[in-house]
Structure formats: C-alpha cells, structure tokens
Structure 1
C-alpha cells in the first residue's frame, strides 16, 4: 500500500472516532475503518471504568465470543503477557503477542489454552488511553500462521489509540446523570469459585438486563459482573490490586454500580485463598451522584486541578474556602471554574450542579 493511501486510511480511522457516535457506533465504525488499513480476522473491543480499569462491556467477534469467559479469566490469572491493565502503564499502550514472547507464542498460556484451539495466532492489544485515563481496550487477532502483526501495525494503533479513547470518553457523556424516580433497591448475584452463577435475586435479574453489554458471549452474567468477581479473586490471591467494582452503562442512560465481596460463613474452613469458603456476592445498584460524578468529570476532560475545584463546588464549598483548601488564589479558582463551565457546557454553579448531580438512572 502506498504512503498516501495508508495515510488516507489512517485518517479514515480517526474520522470514525470523531463522529459523535454512541459506544456501539464507535465500536462498529472503528473496526470497519481498521480493517481497511490492516488484516483483522477477529476482534475484541471493550469499554472500561477509568478508575478501576475493569471491563464494563465488550464486543466479541467469532470465534472469540465462544471463549470470552476464558479470556477474561486469563486477564486476572497473573501469569500471562500483555494484560490490558498492564498496557495502561506501558509506553504507547500497545503490544503484540509475538513481541512479548519473541515469536514463541506457546510461551503464553492465553495462546496455548485459548487462541491456538480457536485457530488464532498473533494478537495486537491496546489500552485506549487519553489524558492518562483508560476508557477501553482493543484486541485485534489474526489467524494462526507465521505472519503476525508488523511494526507498522503497532505504530498505527499507538497513533489512533488516543482518538479511539476520546471517542469512548465522549460516548460516556451520553450516559450522564439523568433524573430518576424512587429506586427499587439493589440486586445480588452469588457466584462460586469458578464464577458460575449459583443464585440471583429477581431485582438483580432486572438490573443485569439493563447493563449495556454489547455482546456477553458465553458469560452467564454481564462482563461487568464477571470481572468484578474475577478482580476480587485476583485480589484475594495477591495477583492484582484492582478494586472489585465498576460503573457500567445502563440501557436508556445513566449508570449502574457493580461491586463484589466475599460472603463469610461462620465456622467455615479457610479455603486456599485464605478466606472462609463462602460464595462471592456481586451487588448491582443504581449509581448515585457521589459514584458517577468523578466519572462524568473525567469524561468532560477536566484536568486534575479543575476536577478538584469542580468537586468542591459540587459539595457547596464557597470560593473563599476553596482558596484556603487548595492554597491557590481567588483569581486562579475563577480561571479553573471558567474552564470547568466551558468543558461541561454550563454557565453557573447552579447549572453545573444540575448537570452532574442528577440521579444516575431511571428505576
């Protein structure tokens, strides 16, 4: 492919990121544009909670969908290369399996146990990061064979990755705070050590149906529920420090808060993970303003200092007190607040509070 043609096709990928689509639209159009630039035989494209880095939903193409739970369990196993969470802190945020294994793919449990049986070879993974926050993950696969992804493919994804992350960040604003009627309360799902569902409340069934998961594949619960539980297991086993919670998009707007905890059974024997052998409880509930506000501030692209000012304003703290708490001048506070208003699209403190402190989802 000529240099001019390649540059035009790369610009097509970038344009696909800036059309103001929802998450599903971003996933569909970005993958279509990438396939015009390089060979992609299967893809996984997930959203993530920028605070906890857990999956909140995923689009898996065949043959990946049939093995989605095994890929997710591998992510938290602590013994493989190129984990998505690891790529968040890697320069460029992009890597191939062939690079990580020096073309000895069988050194990767993910390749040996999942990809090779599916007929897949090299993979190109990216953490989608913009302004130091991760909004999702992308994994491109090729059929098994000697030909893997080239350095040019890695460089391309590193260049367009921030644009894809920006598209996901903007899509998150579509699911901003919405005013709601009275909440009917949380739901609870119980999972065993293999993350198989063993019990569920009726309310949890209702709330799981509202999680906007593009393609749950073979998972018996949405990706956000499964990965919260997987993160808890990894935390108990010392393989990860990722908190077992995430904010997941709700169908129709708003957010749901998903968090996992171990149930303790009195007089139970201590299991191999060092915990009394009870099931894992995953609680699903409407995300309140305290839970969603940091997410929405990040989605609007606020700097760390702008975020500090905005959070104090949302707590009702007056300018003089903000000056004292942050040790900055009144003029600087006003400059930051003006930037916050511009980015959020409001003109006053009252409008800012109205925009960001609404109830998180309809009941």
Structure 2
C-alpha cells in the first residue's frame, strides 16, 4: 500500500534539513518518493532561480554519459521529442500546475523522437517521468525518475502523485541550499577558464579550470576531459542559442561559485569560453535573495547595507521610518541566519 502524498511531502522537508550533501539529499528525497512512485534510478538537478541555468546535478543509476553523447551526435541534445502524455485523473486544481511528462521507449515515437527513445532503450531504460520542482516564485530544479525495460511504464496515477508532491520537493530543495549562511566560496586558486570548440571538446584550459569543475560538481565522476566537457554542454548550448552570456550561481559545500559561458567571436565559429570562480557579492546577491526568500524591499535594504549606509541613512534614502527600516533588517538577519550588520556584510562578502 502506497503512502499518502501528504505524508511523503512532510517527510521530504524533514529529510532536506538533515542532508549533509547533495548525494544525501537526492537519496533521502527519492527514497521517500519511491514509496509513492516506484522507480529504479533518478537524476535531480537544480536551477539558478534568477537565470534558469543549471547549478547542480546528483543522480543514482541515471542516464550514462553515452546516452547524452548519442543525443548530441544525433543533433538532438537541445531537443526532446513530444512526450506521451497520459491524462491524469481529474481533480480540483488545489495547487499550482506542475509540468510532468512521460517517455516510454516501447511506445511509438512522436515525430523526431525516435533517437531519444532508442538511446533510452540502449541504456536499459523503459520509461522516464520528468517533472519540474517549482512554486509560485521560481522553478528550482527538475527530477527525472527512471524505470528499467520490462517494467510497467509510468502511469497517469504516477503523474498525479508527483504533481501533488512537486511543491514540497521544491521547498526541500530550497531548504537544502539555504540551510547555512550564503557566503562566496573561499577559494585559494585563481579563476578557471576553458574554451570549448564547436564540437564541445575542451580546446584549451587554464591550470585550475578542471579543479573548479570538480569543485562545482562533486557528485559526478569527472575523470576525463570528455566527462568535464559534458557537464558544460547545457551552458555552451545556451550561450550559442541566446547569443548572450549565461550565468549560474552554484552552491557548493563551502560556499557559492559562479560560472559564466559566453560565445567567442573570431574565425573559429561556435567556440565558447567558460569562466568558473568564487561568486562575487554583486552577482551572488540576486540568487541569495531568491533562495533565501528576501522580499524586493529587503533586497534593497541589503544593497544599502553593503554600500555602507547606516540605519538612518537607509531610512532616508528609501523614504521609510527608522522603525520600518530596522524591521526589514531584522527580517534579513533572520532569513540569512546572521546576528547583525557586521555578520551580514562579512557573510555576503566572503
């Protein structure tokens, strides 16, 4: 007998508070979810809540690197087929809608989707259930559940179940990232820079670049340059597609790093430069405001504090009473888990 979605939702929030690493978080969340929606493997990814770029990934028995290489070789890395969409049971809309889609490698593919389903089958997977972890504020990540070939595919009931727990899973993801003070990563090594060519092969890299990627993605096995390059494919594809720089603030065990990907101009088209370094205060703050739930006014107050203004100056600048300005500061201290102005500045400045 499967547990009620409400009991799973309560349990995952407790598990997030206890997790000491991304691997712990992924294991705890999917262990609870397994009782509701049985599965054989998972991939849990997080998004920068401001830019939408990926910021972490943890998995157990997920897709192999070969799967993603096959998709890229087929020209489908940035595409997904139209998924088979079983109709979930009708119910009153009591929560924000959560997108959940199913792929079934044994089903007839949608136009252009055959390569993905064939690659799934080559990896030994028969069915995929993918859904966003979002609330009314942002999309915080994505969870992919996988079932082996030969097992029944995910059903409309499974879709309905994950839609009921998606918001608590998103809250658990936020709780994990915001479990400590939001400080820039204290790094002794200089920034790392990599250049990926049009085929997304690492063409050049500074001495620290590979170490930076392993710091940012500690849950992944990054033994070769091919493995390291694969972690950047989403960033490089987005940089080429958008024509603008891509930014992600990446939470690590020791603070936030930042990753930039920007397309290069010149004779060799398609090259992308990727820079990885400790997050700067100015770039970190928008993501911190989202992860930690600061209001727009609280974010403005933090900006004023970082510029060195006193409480009275902040009140005058923002046309607030001193009492209201102080209330905003107290709310910021509570959310960011500091005891006062000096700790706030020290935390956000690293």
TM-score when scaled to structure 2?
0.79
Match status 1:213 vs 2:218: yes
Q: Which residue of 2 aligns with 1:234?
A: 241
Check 1:348–1:72 CA distance in 2 against 1; reply closer, same or farther (3 A cut): farther
The offset of 1:282, in angstroms, is 1.0
CA distance in 1, matches of 2:162, 2:119: 24
Check 1:108–1:228 CA distance in 2 against 1; reply closer, same or farther (3 A cut): same
Does structure 2 retain, via aligned residues, the 8 Å contact 1:23–1:168? Answer: no
- Partner residue of 1:339 out of 322, 331, 339: 331
Does structure 2 retain, via aligned residues, the 8 Å contact 1:213–1:222? Answer: no
Check 1:230–1:175 CA distance in 2 against 1; reply closer, same or farther (3 A cut): farther
Equivalent residue pairs, number: 331
Match status 1:311 vs 2:318: no
Does structure 1 retain, via aligned residues, the 8 Å contact 2:185–2:256? Answer: no
| Gapped regions of structure 2 (runs ≥ 5) | 84-94
The offset of 1:229, in angstroms, is 1.2
Match status 1:297 vs 2:289: yes
Q: Which residue of 2 aligns with 1:271?
A: none
Aligned residues: CA RMSD: 3.5
CA distance in 2, matches of 1:30, 1:233: 34
Check 1:332–1:165 CA distance in 2 against 1; reply closer, same or farther (3 A cut): same
Does structure 2 retain, via aligned residues, the 8 Å contact 1:212–1:249? Answer: no
| Gapped regions of structure 1 (runs ≥ 5) | 83-89, 269-275, 359-363
SS at match of 1:148: coil
Does structure 2 retain, via aligned residues, the 8 Å contact 1:197–1:220? Answer: no
The offset of 1:178, in angstroms, is 5.7
Deviations 1:244-301 (Å, cap 9, x if unpaired)? 2212234x50222211122222xx3xxxxxxx62522111222222222332333322
CA distance in 2, matches of 1:307, 1:296: 9
Q: Which residue of 1 aligns with 2:41?
A: 42
Does structure 2 retain, via aligned residues, the 8 Å contact 1:121–1:145? Answer: yes
Q: Which residue of 1 aligns with 2:161?
A: 156
Match status 1:125 vs 2:130: yes
Q: Which residue of 2 aligns with 1:139?
A: 144
CA distance in 1, matches of 2:263, 2:64: 28
SS at match of 2:18: coil
